Amino acid sequence: MIRRSLDVYIIPSSDEHQSEYVAPADERRRYIDGFSGSYGVAVVTARHQALWTDGRYFLQADQELDCNWLLMKMKNPGVPKMTEWLQTTLRPGAKGGG
């Protein structure tokens, strides 16, 4: 038996066709984090959960995410880009999926 594991799972708001507005059955990111805004990217590791979204949704995300989630307010001073955060959070050679 081959065992495959992921160190990080990335869940965008879009569906497999890259649609911005998706059918309720395709709201994978909303299912994971509870955030109902149309734009955001959730990142889940074994120890951390973070959501990147833009200024249109800062207040909404703050209200809808529970305390286990880090809200990453994109383009705000001191907020790392997702790739920067992943480089500091994960070990070298980590495997990701989405």
43 to each of 1, 2, 25, 57, how far by Cα in Å?
Answer: 28, 25, 20, 17
Regarding pTM above 0.85, the answer is yes
- The backbone region for 62, taken as left when phi is positive above 0, alpha when psi lies in -120 to 50, beta otherwise, is alpha
pLDDT per position in the chain (98 positions), as tens?
Answer: 556 689 999 999 987 888 777 888 889 999 999 999 999 999 999 999 999 999 999 999 999 999 999 999 999 999 999 999 999 999 998 898 87
Q: Regarding the domain delimited by 8-97, which CATH topology (the fold level of the hierarchy) does it fall under? A: Creatine Amidinohydrolase; Chain A, domain 1 (3.40.350)
What pLDDT is attached to residue 74? 97
SS (H, E, C) the chain: CCCCCCCEEEEECCCCCCCCCCCHHHCHHHHHHCCCCCCCEEEEECCCEEEEECHHHHHHHHHHCCCCCEEEECCCCCCCCHHHHHHHHCCCCCCEEC
**Contact call for residues 51 and 72 (beta carbons, < 8 A):** yes
What pLDDT is attached to residue 1? 56
What pLDDT is attached to residue 69? 97
